[in-house]
A and B are shown apart, each in its own frame.
Chain A
Amino acid sequence: MSRRVRVGALAVAAVIVVLGVVLALNVENAPTDEGGWVGRPAPSFAVETLDGERITAADLRGRVVLINFWNTWCIPCIEEAPALKKLHAAYGDDPGFVMLGIVRDEPGGESLVRRYVADEGVGWTIAMDDDLKASLAWGVTGQPETYVIAPDGTVASELRGAATFEHLEQMLAAAEGVA
């Protein structure tokens, strides 16, 4: 192999290595983009509850807020419902804590959600996100997705997928660490 060919091959190899490193660094950063709310101020959003009350992000300041995006047909949402019920039973009476379930992508509509809430004994506040505005504000791409906001309005923790009771307690603990 001539010297020129060797130098050329080395140059090509160097370019490939540099590109590989750049891509690897990008892959490593990817999870930050997937959600990436922790440590950032919670986005502003507004939803209307099943009781007809309008709730905005600003209304929730000063309390630990757990927001859970869900719907009635999503299997992981049904799987995590007992954990949410247990959490509500444990902390629901605390005036410094709010649990807000936001229903998204629900073809059955509000009437089906009302029936589900009554049948399953869901005791926390439930709101509809028919126009997906709240989902867009949070960058939600599926359900369930759960976020905990600290009293100062910073997102303390987030979870995509079904949460266990232990997950939820850890998420609340993160908010207390921020507050």
Chain B
Amino acid sequence: MRRWLPWTALVAVVAVAIGVAITRSEPSSDPEARARRLERELTCPVCTGESIAESNAPEARAIRADIRDRIAAGQSDAQIRQAYVDAYGERLVLKPGSDGIGLVAWGLPVVALVGGAAVIAVALRRWSAQPRLAASADDEDVVRHARVRGRA
């Protein structure tokens, strides 16, 4: 029982940590928090590499105001995102889509991870099957003499 105590404590700590992380990462439904989240998800249509949240271009300022108007009008985050995609295209969304090139962006890290794990697994298997160093004839002699001395 005492042997399992540290493991039980560890499992409890990990479970609590995961629970806290999940709770804290749940998106807030507060209008201002939603607006700020959407501003970070959308890229400024007339800038290079700046989100709506970061840019001070007139279009970005207008979109910031428009997002708040849409939230106040009762639109969901998905409806707001879609309105900008309808007007500007998928390029406005910083998060990759679930089809086309977006699928590559999502899939490539998974493929790389699985491929990398497979390569490491194969390499480990091969290394463990082979001796680290091949014994020379002199090494064999040393071992043989040691064994003979041991029997004597």
Binding site for B on A (CB under 8 A): 19, 22-23, 25-26, 29, 32-34, 36, 43, 105, 131-133, 135-139, 141-142
Contact = CB atoms under 8 A, between A and B. Distances in A.
B65 A26 contact: no
Interface residues of B, number: 18
Interface in B99-131: 100-101, 104
Given A43-B86, A142-B46, A33 B91 contact: yes
B122 to A, nearest CB: 11
A34 B46 CA distance: 12
A22 B100 CA distance: 8
A139 B88 contact: yes
B87 interface: yes
Nearest to A26: B101
B141 interface: no
A129 B66 CA distance: 13
B59 interface: yes
Interface in B58-104: 58-59, 62-63, 65-66, 84, 86-91, 100-101, 104
A-B pairs with the 7 shortest C-beta distances?
A: A33-B89, A139-B87, A132-B62, A139-B88, A26-B101, A141-B46, A141-B45
A132 B66 CA distance: 9
Contacts of B86: 43, 139
Contacts of A105: 58
A36 B45 CA distance: 15
Contact of A137 (B58, B59, B87): B87
A29 to B, nearest CB: 8
Nearest to B89: A33
A131 B100 CA distance: 34
B89 A22 contact: no
Given A34-B89, A105-B58, A137-B87, A22 B101 contact: yes
A136 B104 contact: no
A25 B100 CA distance: 9
Contacts of A133: 62, 66
Nearest to A41: B86
Interface in B23-42: none
A134 B45 CA distance: 15
Contact of A136 (B66, B90, B101): B66
8 contacts: A22-B101, A22-B104, A33-B89, A43-B87, A131-B62, A132-B62, A137-B87, A139-B45
A25 B59 CA distance: 29
B100 A136 contact: no
B59 A136 contact: yes
Contacts of A138: 87
Nearest to B66: A136
A109 to B, nearest CB: 14
B99 to A, nearest CB: 11
A34 to B, nearest CB: 7
Nearest to B87: A139
B59 A135 contact: yes
